[in-house]
Amino acid sequence: MFRNLEAEQHRAGMSNKDVAEYLHITRVTYEAKKKTGKFTRDEIVSLLALFKCKFEYLFETVDPAA
């Protein structure tokens, strides 16, 4: 799970369905990609533009051991 992606999505007032539509994918596919991180390059570029963030921030992962 990408905590900052969730935060930016919430800050923008967008639902999973809204972001999925922006990416031209289904809500179910978007939710799966948020869990696995398997976004395409084009989807990543679109998300960075949508939320006006850098890759390192938006896709920062949390170390579960920490």
Ranges of H-type helices in the chain: 3-11, 16-23, 27-36, 41-51, 55-58
Q: For 25, which DSSP code?
A: S
For residue 6, is pLDDT > 80?
yes
pTM of the model: 0.88
For residue 2, is pLDDT > 80?
yes
For residue 66, is pLDDT > 60?
no
* Per-residue confidence (pLDDT) for residue 63, from 0 to 100: 64
What burial letters (b/e) apply to 35-57, b meaning 16+ CB within 10 Å? eeeebeeebeebbeebbebeeee
Domain 3-54 has CATH 1.10.260: yes
* pLDDT one-digit tens code per residue, 8-65: 999 999 999 999 999 999 999 999 999 999 999 999 999 999 999 999 999 998 765 5
- Taking every pair of Cα atoms in the chain, the longest distance, rounded to a whole number of angstroms, is 35
